[in-house]
Structure 1
Amino acid sequence: MTTTENDLGWLDDITMSQLERNPYPVYERLRAEAPLAYVPVLGSYVASTAELCREIATSPDFEAVITPAGGRTFGHPAIIGVNGDVHADLRGMVEPQLQPVEVDRWVDDLVRPIARRYVEAFENDGRAELVAQYAEPVSVRSLGDLLGLTDVSSDTLRDWFARLNRSFTNAAMTADGEFANPEGFLDADRAKEEIKAAVDPLIDRWITEPADTAISHWLHDGMPPGKTRDREYIYPTIYVYLLGAMQEPGHGIASTLVGLFGEPEQFEQVVDDPALIPRAIAEGMRWTSPIWSATARITTTDVHLAGVDLPKGTPVIQSYGSANHDTGLYEAPTRFDLHRPPLPHLAFGAGRHACAGIYYANHVMRIALEELFEAIPNMERDTSAEVEFWGWGFRGPTALPVTWEV
């Protein structure tokens, strides 16, 4: 039976509120009925299966493009939405500090003291809210220090990424192709002014006095002697880092914990054998992908894909969170299962624009969980309230209260 346009009338009723609260039912239906479909509220085609997301990410008939809300939030040239020489330069700018041999040199000394400091702040309290008190602070402090933002408080970094997140995912479009909620970008505009006020003086110093910080390297590495990259050229990628790179490890930590709490035997196995932590993280990233539906590609030629004709210049949003629940690959994908047969997930994307920080992010999450389980092996989720997740572009638990006997 062929799905007709009349059969897909339900797509017109999808709302951003619905997607932010719980995108899974919509995407389950998309995978079954229209794996590649135009979703009016997003003003874009959406790819929802693992096969399509991977094909689009690696096909020469597609190149990167930033979503309209993402472009409004980050500006140009953001590393996630450019191609050709500019993309090559930006990847060449950020990747040297994120190569495994380089990360191995400093990641433990960077992240472990931060994780210990945060866990020590509440380990004798018998209760904590792990998103706000641990997962997000460890994530933002680790990356903030790597970038060179050591004097910016963790609370400020968390505030910046939350405001950029709300802007990036302010994705609703009108039938005329305009933003349905243009006021939703203004708070992030103010956040970017605050970011520049904090970072500009550091850039001024690093231009003449290079330091071993990521942003200083971005200014200087690969440039002719006496030359630096223009700050306005690198700011869009700084914003990408302050949102996506800070969000992903924190929400990956929290989602992995929620998944483990839902499977007490698996939780005990991981606490008893820390060597299982990387496997738990991989399943947590598949189970609730932090970067759920935040990347897009655009056709470079006319393409016929999944029964749909896509003219040259057609953007397609890749919903990696949906792909990671594809029943064509994963049995009972809504269940967190530490012992699931290992299959490659798409939480970090694929192709030339796959996340540059995969190795770094996995180590941040690993070290954070090692320190938490070592300090408080007997924690339990506070079941007086359900854990709520939020987000369509970026997704994670909003809070995770836990208790333990001291």
Structure 2
Amino acid sequence: MTAVQPSHEVTPKFVEEITMAELEADPYPFYERLRKEAPVAFVPSLGMYIVSTRELCMQIAKDSDSWPAVISPAGGRTFGHGALLNTNGPEHRDLRDMVEPHLQPSAVDNYIDDLVRPYARELLERIEDNGSADIVAEYCEPVSVRALGDLLGLGDVSTDKLREWFHKLSVSFTNSAMTSDGEFANPNGFVPGDEAKAEIIAHVDPKIDEWIVNPDHSAISHWLHDGMPEGQTRSRDVIYPNLYVFLLGAMQEPGHAMATTLAGLFSRPDQLERVVDDPGLIPRAVGEGMRWVAPIWSAAAKIATDEVVVGGVTIPQNSVVMLSYGSANQDENAYDAPTAYDLDRAVIPNMTFGGGVHACAGTYFANNVIRIALEELLETIPNIERDTDHEVNFWGWGFRGPKELHVQWEV
């Protein structure tokens, strides 16, 4: 479902000319200009309205009645119907009840240490004598995908395969470019996601067959059984769209937030030293890292139930609006020097995990995966520093994080 721009609204020329390639490489200059000149704008290359300021993003995110959740066209093509991201009311509540038991703080506190710390230590044992690493590929992403994979019940899927799945799903989900007549500009961009989904179904289907008969403590097993009448389980048509959501967003977010936090700390060596000396500062460092570069940068879509004026722009009924949380976190009206990483900035709630009834269900889980992984990393390699022979190349508009982060240390 795509928005149709009203004829009386004038799209600024710089908005008409933006391309997906430019957004993926570096969305910040474009969104900075949007916040100043067109905080609500129809972007033809996306076929959607974009909301870029913190105030307007928060206003819409909290109003689930006037702005129910939908999914971007590319997201819908990737996940299908029935995912948490594009359900509302009782259907959304039922799905939250399905996934939340394993993600409640009381539950997470009981298992998170045993889930994350042993594997983090195993990875560090492999690299600590090397003196250098691409910390994204060799530590951050593996810890992130392994933690969620094991929680879901996919302990028999290799870490490399889990990473492959989320990268392919990300390519599909962010294949957002649209033609002027509302078609996908790059239909082949969905091939990687389709390949990943076929592999996921082929692997998980037999496991679901077993979990139906012999449930265990894995999250997917609970998704099948919790809240269902005796003798019944949830349909695979419910399980798979939400599993894809988890295998994309929930898998990438901790790993990329971890790497982003390190990149931010490397930009402030004095603050890195303080965090190494006092691990109690890690949660604060992570919070600032996720404000600085939101790992889920622009992925929350809403639909206007009626014609409405937002930020001085008339949005027609049934128009799709994308809330750009990464831009909201950089809003100059909310944060001093927002483009800089600063451990000591005043704590103002950011929008990294969304807001309202569709706020991320895995916030507590993700924060604790990141915390434990950074505790282990900085304890094992306290003299870690960025390898300045390599640039830090962030990438992504829907999801954003360092493609690589080369680090070094004295052995």
User: What TM-score, normalized to structure 2?
Assistant: 0.97
Aligned residue for 1:41, secondary structure, equals coil
Deviates more, 1:386-395 or 1:53-62: 53-62
CA distance in 2, matches of 1:108, 1:53: 34
Selected match of 1:374 from 371, 379, 383: 379
CA distance in 2, matches of 1:219, 1:117: 32
Identity, in percent, stands at 62
- Backbone CA RMSD of aligned residues: 1.0
Matched, 1:251 2:256: yes
Structure 2 counterpart of 1:396, which letter?
G
What residue number does 1:360 align with? 365
Structure 1 counterpart of 2:19, which letter?
T
What residue number does 2:400 align with? 395
Structure 1 counterpart of 2:52, which letter?
S
Selected match of 2:28 from 24, 27, 48: 24
What residue number does 1:289 align with? 294
Selected match of 1:182 from 171, 187, 194: 187
Selected match of 1:109 from 107, 114, 130: 114
What residue number does 2:138 align with? 133
Selected match of 2:12 from 4, 8, 13: 8
Matched, 1:200 2:209: no
CA distance in 2, matches of 1:337, 1:8: 33
8 Å contact from structure 1 (residues 160, 191) kept in 2: yes
- Deviation for aligned residue 1:290: 0.2
8 Å contact from structure 2 (residues 11, 41) kept in 1: no
- Deviation for aligned residue 1:102: 0.7
What residue number does 1:266 align with? 271
Selected match of 1:171 from 176, 184, 187: 176
Selected match of 1:315 from 320, 326, 330: 320
8 Å contact from structure 2 (residues 9, 313) kept in 1: no
What residue number does 2:3 align with? none
- Deviation for aligned residue 1:191: 0.8
1:328-367 matches, within 5 Å, as: 328-367=333-372
CA distance in 2, matches of 1:105, 1:131: 27
Structure 1 counterpart of 2:175, which letter?
N
- Deviation for aligned residue 1:5: 5.7
What residue number does 1:386 align with? 391
Matched, 1:159 2:164: yes
Matched, 1:54 2:54: no
1:73-88 matches, within 5 Å, as: 73-88=78-93
- The number of residues matched between the two structures is 403
CA distance in 2, matches of 1:132, 1:95: 29
Structure 1 counterpart of 2:147, which letter?
S
Matched, 1:37 2:41: yes
1:316-369 C-alpha deviation (Å, 9 max, x unpaired): 001000000000010110100000000100000000000000000000000000
Structure 2 counterpart of 1:35, which letter?
P
8 Å contact from structure 2 (residues 145, 159) kept in 1: yes
8 Å contact from structure 1 (residues 131, 400) kept in 2: yes
Aligned residue for 1:86, secondary structure, equals helix
What residue number does 1:237 align with? 242
- Deviation for aligned residue 1:125: 0.8
Structure 2 counterpart of 1:129, which letter?
D
Deviates more, 1:4-13 or 1:189-198: 4-13
Give the 4+ runs in structure 1 shifted more than 6 A: none
- Deviation for aligned residue 1:84: 1.7
Gaps of 5+ in 1: none
Question: CA 1:7 to 1:291, structure 2 compared with 1: closer, same or farther past 3 Å?
Answer: closer
CA distance in 2, matches of 1:180, 1:6: 23
CA distance in 2, matches of 1:104, 1:311: 45
CA distance in 1, matches of 2:184, 2:11: 27
CA distance in 2, matches of 1:26, 1:196: 38
1:206-217 matches, within 5 Å, as: 206-217=211-222
- Deviation for aligned residue 1:286: 0.2
What residue number does 1:69 align with? 74
8 Å contact from structure 1 (residues 61, 303) kept in 2: no
8 Å contact from structure 2 (residues 11, 42) kept in 1: no
8 Å contact from structure 1 (residues 252, 281) kept in 2: yes
Structure 2 counterpart of 1:219, which letter?
L
- Deviation for aligned residue 1:268: 0.2
What residue number does 2:4 align with? none
Deviates more, 1:317-326 or 1:112-121: 112-121
CA distance in 1, matches of 2:121, 2:265: 21
CA distance in 1, matches of 2:355, 2:89: 17
Selected match of 1:99 from 98, 104, 109: 104
CA distance in 2, matches of 1:6, 1:245: 38
